[in-house]
Amino acid sequence: MNHSPSPQGGDVLLSVRNLSKRFHTASGPVKAVEDVSFDVGRGRIVGIVGESGSGKTTAGRCILRLVEPSEGEAVFDGVDLFKLPEKALRAYRRRMQIIFQDPYSSLNPRMRVGDIIGEAIDTHGLAKGAARQARIADLLARVGLSPEHARRYPHEFSGGQRQRIGIARALAVEPELIVADEPVSALDVSVQAQVLNLIQELQKELGLTMLFISHDLTVVEYLCDDIVVLYLGRIMEQGPSREVYANPRHPYTKALLSTAPIPDPTVRRERVILQGDIPSPLDPPSGCVFRTRCPFAIEACAKAVPPRESVSPSHSVACIRQAELATLATQKVTA
């Protein structure tokens, strides 16, 4: 099988291979994720970006077995999570956690904060009685809340504080991998920066590995070591984020990066404004799924799904014209 380039650093904690997920709906199968492969190195933050409906959340939920994947494997520390029976999976649930986008619906409104975090501790029998309370207090302090907050209900907190509670719940079981599904998207900029700092501190202190799902390219550039670009369920480009941001090779990545608004009115970039909308995942285009909006599409693009081509040891692109377009670009510069 085609192997995705492994990230720098060697030690791979999670390796996703040929992951596909089809949802069977009344109007037919929805191809939410198709043949996605990537590696997550231990201690690294991997960003998954893409427009709405590109399959980011579905990929994350499949890896955690919150929905059943249709195909593929996810090898976590040597074990294929997709093959584990429900019972055996429970032990792994402790090692992988998730943080959600919506700070409101992600906490049970009828449970006290202490019970929300306590449930995580109880489920895995990590502590009892006074030790349990101490642990809850410690987790709250760690995410910047105070132990007294354990007694309160979620509705008494602001969006940013609720997001901290969600993070504390995830940390309660001392996971190694955290899937963070747009954890700061619903927050105001000033609070977003607070939570981004918290995530980084925790990541460094606890040596966490993260899958950071986001549609905010500025945040991903800042936070992530590696990046995976999804479009209509397929990977368009992947690699170390500095390399991809400095030298995007896929036409979709280029368009995405050029249209992300930058807070500086003096920067006048050459924008690639894509025409039209994302096609329906019920009926994705043949061949390259991006071809209906790609400014460089040619007939051959409709024929076959473009194979992944490496442009550097850890940077790969799924576009049949990437080499040609790269030389075109340099010619333009020299001309």
Partner 1 sequence: MAAVLSAPSPLTATLPEDVVLRAEDLHTHFIVGERAAKSVDGVTLTVRRGETLAVVGESGSGKSVTSLSIMRLLAHPGRIVRGKILYRMRDGTVVDLATLPEKRMRAIRGKEIAMIFQEPMTSLNPLYTVGDQIMEMIRLHEPVSRHEARQRARQMLELVEIPAAEKRLDQYPHEMSGGMRQRVMIALALSCNPALLIADEPTTALDVTIQAQILDLMRRLQRDIGMSILFITHNLGVVAEIAHEVAVMYAGRVVEQAPVEALFARPRHPYTKGLLACIPNPERDRAADGARLMLNPIPGNVPSVLNLPPGCTYAPRCPLVEPRCEGEAPGLVPAGPGHLSRCFRHELL
Partner 2 sequence: MAAVSIAPAPRITTLILQRKTLAIGLAVILAIALFALLAPLIAPYAPNKLSIVNRLKPPSGTYFFGTDEFGRDIFSRTIYAGRLSLTVGAAATVFAGVIGITLGLVAGFFRRADTVIARIVDAMMAFPDILLAIALVAALGPSLATVIVALGIVYAPRLARIVRASTLVIRELPYVEAARALGVPTWRIMTRHVLRNLVSPILVQATFIFAYAMLAEASLSFLGVGVSPEIPTWGTMIASGRQYVGQADWMTIFPGVAIILSVLSLQLVGDGLRDLLDPRLRKDL
> What does the binding site for partner 1 look like in residue numbers (CB under 8 A)?
51-52, 158, 160, 188-194, 196-197, 200-201, 215, 217-219, 221-223, 242, 245, 255-256, 259-267, 271, 273-275, 277-278
Write out the binding residues for partner 2, residues 164-223 only, by CB under 8 A: 166, 169-170, 173
Buried b (16+ CB within 10 A) or exposed e, 285-313: bebbbbbbbbebbeeebeeeebebeebee
Cβ distance to partner 1 smaller for residue 73 or 225: 225
Residue 139 burial (10 A CB sphere; 0-12, 13-18, 19+) = buried
Cβ distance to Mg ion smaller for residue 53 or 147: 53
- Number of residues in contact with Mg ion under rule CB under 5 A: 1
Q: Do 57 and 64 form a contact (C-beta atoms < 8 A)?
A: no
Residue 57 contacts which entry, Mg ion, ligand SF4, partner 1, none (Cβ below 5-8 A, type-dependent): Mg ion
Binding segment (CB under 6 A) for ligand ATP, from list 49-57, 143-151, 190-198, 295-303: 49-57
Write out the binding residues for partner 2, residues 75-104 only, by CB under 8 A: 89-90, 93-94, 96-98, 100-102
Cβ distance to partner 1 smaller for residue 133 or 194: 194
Cβ distance to ligand SF4 smaller for residue 195 or 230: 230
C-beta of 264: minimal distance to partner 1 in Å? Answer: 6
Contact between 306 and ligand SF4 (CB under 6 A)? yes
From the list 4, 20, 37, 57, which residue makes contact with Mg ion (rule: CB under 5 A)? 57
Rounded CA separation 286/304 (Å): 7
Cβ distance to ligand ATP smaller for residue 4 or 54: 54
C-beta of 22: minimal distance to partner 2 in Å? Answer: 17
Cβ distance to partner 1 smaller for residue 56 or 308: 56
- The rounded radius of gyration (Å) of the Cα atoms in the chain is 21
- Number of residues in contact with ligand SF4 under rule CB under 6 A: 12
Q: Do 309 and 239 form a contact (C-beta atoms < 8 A)?
A: no
β strands within the chain, DSSP E: 12-25, 28-41, 45-49, 71-76, 79-80, 96-99, 177-181, 209-213, 226-231, 234-240, 309-312, 315-317
From the list 23, 84, 153, 325, which residue makes contact with partner 2 (rule: CB under 8 A)? 153
Residue 193 contacts which entry, partner 1, Mg ion, partner 2, none (Cβ below 5-8 A, type-dependent): partner 1
Helix (H) or strand (E) holding 102: none
Q: Do 209 and 178 form a contact (C-beta atoms < 8 A)?
A: yes
Tell which residue, 276, 289, 293, has the closest CA to residue 318. Answer: 289
